[in-house]
């Protein structure tokens, strides 16, 4: 039997008491472009799942297990299902049902997963009643059209899933289609404002290599669109903020690893943002991929950040430029 001693407790901010009273304006979400939208295959029912006096709804156990299988190293800090003292005096799906002890709400930490993939799969599952994530609610009563959520808890650290109190639906062991869901890769589709997913995260990662200061969150919002427009203008492309074939080709070319430059041995010159060559690749390998990213031989914004970190750690001038003093700190003989 699952109990509060062994499971995370839902947070103290009341997050689902009459959620329909906290619905704001409609929100435009691009949820399904090039996604595998096939309905998951039904699995055998498990009548024994309701025998425990106090338990997480079986259908939510299936959901949690699938999320864990797909992202085994995910953060679970904000996970929760059984309500704390603040929930117990309210109408909350985090409280056990009086008739069978079923808890019909689950919070899943957003870190280490693709939260919008989870949202997409939840809103096509027959057991789902509503989902709240990042100030947005998708509810069965509104045909799962995205709307702004105005409750006190923004749900920006986790996503909240509530399921139906119908006995058959809460006891269902039907797959949620998360463990093996197909996700798009950059180039599989045209990206524009409103697109979400792993391919948007790839785009934002490439932007970072070119100096873009974007959150890698998989959400093609106004900042990502502005960066794309600026990049298109710099590359003399059509400026429309849409990542199609031409823009993608330019991105690939701009972020391709630079071939080693002849005569550019480590310590033979000062390198800074914009430099390329084998000496830059040496710096990236020396500082490490965690701080500088892959050793591409191109001195980008991430490399500069890594160099600044290294200089600060060594107690020398922090300027993000690898000159004679920084080379010597790395144990390299300076020849210029």
> Does residue 181 form part of some domain?
no
**Same domain membership, residue 206 and residue 126:** no
Q: How many domains does the chain have?
A: 3
**Same domain membership, residue 303 and residue 227:** no
Give the pLDDT confidence of 16-74 residue by residue, as tens digits. Answer: 556 766 666 666 555 544 444 444 444 444 344 434 477 999 999 999 999 999 999 99
Q: What is the CATH number of the domain that holds 330?
A: 1.10.101.10
DSSP string covering 294-305: S--SB--HHHHH
CA atoms of 273 and 127, how far apart (whole Å): 52
* 75 pLDDT more than 70: yes
Strand boundaries in the chain, DSSP class E: 23-26, 55-56, 102-103, 105-109, 128-133, 136-139, 147-149, 158-163
Give the pLDDT confidence of 194-229 residue by residue, as tens digits. Answer: 998 889 989 998 998 888 888 888 889 999 999 999
> Does residue 63 form part of some domain?
yes
Q: Confidence class of residue 1 from pLDDT cuts 50, 70 and 90?
A: very low
pTM: 0.55
- Domain span at residue 268 reads 257-336
CA distances (Å), 234 to each of 9, 227, 296, 301, in order?
A: 50, 11, 22, 17
Percent of the chain with pLDDT over 90: 50
Mapping DSSP to helix (H, G, I), strand (E, B) and coil, where does residue 233 land? helix
- The residues facing 271 across adjacent strands are 322
**Same domain membership, residue 279 and residue 140:** no
> Does residue 319 form part of some domain?
yes
């Amino acid at each position: 039997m699952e109990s509060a001693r062994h499971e995370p407790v839902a947070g103290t901010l009341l997050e689902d008491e009459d959620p329909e009273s906290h619905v704001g304006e409609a929100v435009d979400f691009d949820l399904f472009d090039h996604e595998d939208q096939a309905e998951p295959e039904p699995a055998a029912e498990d009548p024994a799942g309701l025998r425990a006096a106090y338990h997480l709804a079986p259908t939510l156990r299936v959901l949690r297990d699938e999320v864990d299988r797909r992202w085994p190293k995910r953060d679970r800090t904000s996970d929760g299902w059984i309500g704390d003292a603040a929930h117990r005096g309210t109408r909350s799906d985090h409280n056990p049902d009086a008739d069978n002890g079923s808890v019909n709400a689950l919070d899943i930490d957003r870190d280490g997963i693709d939260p919008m993939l989870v949202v997409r799969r939840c809103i096509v599952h027959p057991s789902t009643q509503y989902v709240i994530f990042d100030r947005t609610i998708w509810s069965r009563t509104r045909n799962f059209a995205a709307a702004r959520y105005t409750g006190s808890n923004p749900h920006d650290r986790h996503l909240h899933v509530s399921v139906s109190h119908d006995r058959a639906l809460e006891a269902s062991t039907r797959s949620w289609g998360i463990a093996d869901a197909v996700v798009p890769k950059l180039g599989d589709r045209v990206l524009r404002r409103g697109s979400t997913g792993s391919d948007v995260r790839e785009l934002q990662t490439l932007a970072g290599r070119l100096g873009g200061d974007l959150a890698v969150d998989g959400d093609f919002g106004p900042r990502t669109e502005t960066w794309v427009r600026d990049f298109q203008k710099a590359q003399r492309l059509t400026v429309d903020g849409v990542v199609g074939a031409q823009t993608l080709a330019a991105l690939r070319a701009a972020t391709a690893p630079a071939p080693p430059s002849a005569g550019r041995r480590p310590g033979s010159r000062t390198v800074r943002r914009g430099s390329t060559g084998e000496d830059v690749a040496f710096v990236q390998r020396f500082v490490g991929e965690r701080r500088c990213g892959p050793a591409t031989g191109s001195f980008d914004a991430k490399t500069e950040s890594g160099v600044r970190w290294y200089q600060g750690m060594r107690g020398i001038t922090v300027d993000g430029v690898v000159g004679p003093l920084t080379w010597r700190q790395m144990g390299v003989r300076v020849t210029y």
